[in-house]
Amino acid sequence: MDEVAMDAVQLIERPPVSEPAKSELHRNLSFYALWACAIANGLGEKVFFVALVLLATTANHANSLVSAISIALAVPAVLFGSVAGVFVDRFPLRWTLFLASFLRMALVLALPLAGGNLGLLLAFAFGFGLITQFHNPTFTAAIPAIIRREQLMAANAFFTMTMIATLITGFALAGPLSRLTGLPRIHLVVGLIFLIGALSVLFVRFPPFVKRKEEVFLAQWRSTWTYLQTKRYLLVGMSQVMILFGTFAALNVLAIGFSRDVLHLSDFGIIIAAAGVGMALGAMVMGRFGACFPKQRWIFHGFLLAGSSLVLLALSHSLPLVLLFAMLTGVAGAMIDVPVTTLLQEGVDEEMRGKVFGLQSTLMNLASTLPMAFAGPLADLWGTTAVMVALGLSLVAFSFLRSMKEQS
């Protein structure tokens, strides 16, 4: 077994986390300060998106603008995610996180300047998405910087639950907030949320920043790929996250036709909501029991459960059963996401975290976009049920193929 494989095995087969280590996590004030930053930025992102949509539709633009805004927010991730990661490694985490939140606050407060102008609204969305590409890899790199290795699994489970909670709460609060404050003033509320996120970062105790010799930018960008070639298990982890995000992206599209044609429901969101609840429950399970078993075992069973649940969901015509299998799919998502994220954070060297996590952001957005583009046409061609069954069987096959390859 070569040195790279030995490193991967050591990361995967770490001993369980002791109860004292778990309790130390909850006594870590920096952890809670970073958590406050996660809550503020998660809520701010969702409310800002809804505010953009409301401003656009109020100005009597077509409803298709919702898609245009989504694309404007997502394009920077594809174009600049890996590039932003290079900059992240050049500067202290504290000030990169602070500046990202502060700039998003400033951009939100300037939102009234756009009025109802379509071009300006899309420009604001693009600018917001661009700043986000500096925030996301910095935040991911900040977690292993302030949290001990044996506490990472529990911490990632906690942040996964936070992500889902802010996703649901942010969209739920956006409408009432706009009615309470009035649409022209909702930007003040969102700006305040981002200000709280920026100030929270100041209470995080980061390790001292070590300034390293800076190479040419392009050479640093290329070094990310070279680095990943020497640590293939990191590429495997990224591919697993891409498959997970691609699956949920396809499910978002397929749920529409499945609800309409099979369940005869007008609201497809109930299936997605059930999957979200399941992922939150799965994150709770991972936070409590994740360190009791090797990470690779969780990932294998996660893909197996996700695939089988999707197949059973596709073959079910009863709403309670559909919701049950959607929840199980969400649970499986957490069983994959939490250990894979932990493996990546443990395996990436400190000086490479920004670059690697920036590249991961780009790949995840590509993985989310492509299935959404193909799922609809394939469902029209073969039927929603057939596509969902094929997707589920593919996940089951992937889990067994990966397991056999690792054993060999």
Residue 1 lies in a domain: no
Mean pLDDT within 301-311: 92
Long-range Cβ pairs for the range 91-95 (8 Å, 24+): 91/209, 92/206, 92/209, 93/138, 93/141, 93/142, 93/145, 93/206, 93/209, 94/201, 94/202, 94/204, 94/206
Contact 157, 334 (CB under 8 A): yes
Say which residue the tokens 């054993």 belong to.
407
Residue 4 lies in a domain: no
Residue 245 lies in a domain: yes
Mean pLDDT within 227-241: 82
The pLDDT confidence band at residue 313, using thresholds 50, 70 and 90, is very high
DSSP 211-261: PPPP--HHHHHHHHHHHHHH-HHHHHHHHHHHHHHHHHHHHHHHHHHHHHH
Q: What is the mean pLDDT of the chain?
A: 80
Is the model more confident about 322 or about 212? 322
Count of the separate structural domains present in the chain: 2
CATH of the domain at 267: 1.20.1250.20
Mean pLDDT within 160-189: 77
Give the pLDDT confidence score for residue 199 in this predicted structure.
95
pLDDT over threshold 70, residue 23: no
Contact 124, 243 (CB under 8 A): no
pLDDT over threshold 90, residue 122: no
Model pTM score: 0.75
My answer on whether 56 and 24 are in the same domain is yes
The pLDDT confidence band at residue 390, using thresholds 50, 70 and 90, is very high
Give the pLDDT confidence score for residue 180 in this predicted structure.
76
Q: How long, in residues, is the chain?
A: 408
Domain holding 287, by residue range, is 223-407
Tokens encoding 314: 């596709």
Mean pLDDT within 191-204: 93
Give the pLDDT confidence score for residue 64 in this predicted structure.
59
End-of-domain residue from the set 211, 234, 268: 211
Contact 16, 291 (CB under 8 A): yes
Say which residue the tokens 């004030």 belong to.
29
Give me the percent of the chain exceeding a pLDDT of 70.
85
Tokens encoding 287: 């936070």
Q: Write the pLDDT tens digit of every residue in 45-80.
A: 888 887 887 777 665 555 556 667 777 887 887 787
Residue 12 lies in a domain: no
Give the pLDDT confidence score for residue 24 in this predicted structure.
67
Contact 54, 111 (CB under 8 A): no
Contact 365, 241 (CB under 8 A): no
Give the pLDDT confidence score for residue 86 in this predicted structure.
78
My answer on whether 103 and 192 are in the same domain is yes
My answer on whether 245 and 323 are in the same domain is yes
Mean pLDDT within 178-201: 85
pLDDT over threshold 70, residue 3: no
Say which residue the tokens 């969102």 belong to.
190
